[in-house]
Amino acid sequence: MNKTVQTILEYAQRLVDEKVVGESDMISLRSELNFMYVTKAGVKLCDLTEQDVIKMNIFKAEKDYEYHAEIYKAREDINAICQCYPKWVMPIAKAGVTIPAVLDDMAQIVGPTCKTSQDNISSIIKTLKGRNSCLIKDKGCITSGRTLDEAYTCVLVLDKASHCFVASSVIGANKIINGIEARLMRFIYKTKYSKKNQENLSVKEEEQSVSEDTSVKEESEV
């Protein structure tokens, strides 16, 4: 099996196991600069097979894959995307509000806030500026990262932060991390604690992609 496809299938199963998926989830991984591997639209992550992960040129992507393709075109620093519908994210996305940093790991991994975007690609790209994730009005969330592991982790943290935000709002005990402190925590995470780990994962994913593309080319030349 193609190792990049295998990586996507593994993380899809992780999302399913963590119960942070819905009906129309989709994940993707950049391959080279202008290509991506993406899960087939309309196929639930729990039902994915090897044939349901397809490779396409981001400049020739069909409408069903527009959000992923356009984000990759706009952000060369993003190599992986999770488009998910976690249980606790959904009510906040429907309300269209912003989640403040209610947890340390949210401030570090997601950002000082997570805003809600309108359901169109231009709004999503604008909302993602300076952040790894955003909510989508009346839908779920999009998370991104330097690696698929980072995008996946962002989904888990965002769902946990959403749970805390909803629960604490109900009981009236919502404690928010100071904005300056949240930004400092994010800066330290991006530049120190996660940098080496994400670089190693990114190199591994790139090597897998290059290895597969080279193998395919050599087979076609035989």
Q: What is 137-187 written as a DSSP string?
A: TTS-EEEEESSHHHHHHHHHHHHHHHHHHHHHHHHT------HHHHHHHHH
Q: How far apart are CA 221 and CA 35, in angstroms?
A: 21
Higher pLDDT, 198 or 108: 108
Higher pLDDT, 135 or 23: 135
pTM (2 d.p.): 0.78
State the pLDDT at residue 212.
Answer: 54
Q: What digits encode the pLDDT tens for the residues 154-213?
A: 999 888 888 888 876 544 555 554 443 444 344 334 544 444 454 555 555 555 555 555
Q: How far apart are CA 142 and CA 133, in angstroms?
A: 6
Name the fold adopted by 3-202. Answer: L-fuculose-1-phosphate Aldolase (3.40.225)
pLDDT cut 70: percent of the chain above it: 74
- Across the range 25-36, mean pLDDT stands at 95
| Token output for 44 | 């639930």
